């Protein structure tokens, strides 16, 4: 009986290993690849958090865009919220549109975050994480810059902009000049 029990355990363990290996192979072969700087920004249409309706990224073609992924539960996002709002107030007169993408969050928490931090630029909901997946997010916050032609420009900023102010400014300038 012990030998039979041991063999059953080995078969179950091998089955579990084969399943995990299959999942790993599937994930590696079906992984979305992040967009490349200079290439087109992945389009999306998403429900707005700041007002009713939805926002389609393609509708902003002709305008430079700063696209910032964040969430109310993200501690570093809280630290950069004020800087993003200040930059929005500085650059919107030059035609730059800021769009916040609330990533895998609850709408009520996102609204509370926006009120608490005084966020006034457009915010869309990415509750499922599908938009973030198309952009190849590795964490939060992350910021992308899109020029008037709908192409990614500048440097993709991983982490807070407060630690990468020069790269943030260069990204906005690249979006403005192309």
pLDDT in tens, 63-100: 999 999 999 999 999 999 999 999 999 999 999 999 99
Q: Is the peptide bond before 141 cis (omega within 30 degrees of 0)?
A: yes
- Residue 8 reports pLDDT greater than 90: no
Greatest Cα pair distance in the chain: 80
In terms of DSSP H, where are the helices of the chain? 2-29, 75-91, 107-117, 130-134, 165-177
Query: Any long-range contacts for 151-159 (C-beta under 8 Å, 24+ apart)?
Result: 151/38, 151/39, 151/40, 151/41, 151/178, 152/35, 152/36, 152/37, 152/38, 152/39, 152/40, 152/41, 153/37, 153/38, 153/178, 154/37, 155/37, 156/34, 156/37, 159/76
Asked if the model's pLDDT at residue 170 lies above 60, the reply is: yes
Tens-digit pLDDT profile for residues 104-143: 999 999 999 999 999 999 999 999 999 999 999 999 999 9
pLDDT confidence of residue 25? 64
CA distances 61 to 92, 97, 108, 119, 150, Å, are: 15, 10, 29, 23, 6
**pLDDT score of 47 more than 80:** yes
Q: What's the mean pLDDT when you consider all of the chain?
A: 91
Mean pLDDT, rounded, for 55-65: 98
Q: How far is CA 74 from CA 26, 93, 103, 126, 147, in A?
A: 29, 29, 10, 15, 27
pTM above 0.95, yes or no: no
The per-residue pLDDT for 94 is 96
């Amino acid at each position: 009986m012990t030998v039979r029990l041991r063999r059953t355990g080995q078969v179950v363990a091998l089955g579990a290993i084969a399943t995990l290996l299959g999942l790993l192979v599937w994930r590696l072969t079906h992984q979305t690849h992040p967009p490349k700087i200079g290439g087109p920004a992945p389009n999306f249409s998403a429900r707005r958090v700041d007002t009713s309706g939805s926002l389609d990224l393609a509708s902003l073609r002709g305008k430079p865009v700063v696209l910032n992924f964040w969430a109310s539960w993200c501690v570093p996002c809280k630290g950069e919220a004020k800087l993003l709002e200040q930059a929005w107030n500085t650059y919107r007169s030059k035609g730059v549109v800021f769009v916040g993408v609330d990533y895998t969050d609850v709408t009520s928490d996102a609204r509370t975050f926006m009120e608490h931090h005084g966020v006034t630029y457009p915010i869309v909901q990415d509750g499922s994480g599908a938009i973030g997946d198309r952009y190849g997010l590795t964490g939060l916050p992350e910021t992308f810059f899109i020029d008037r032609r709908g192409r990614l420009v500048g440097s993709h900023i991983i982490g807070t902009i407060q630690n990468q102010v020069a790269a943030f400014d260069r990204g906005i300038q690249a979006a403005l000049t192309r």
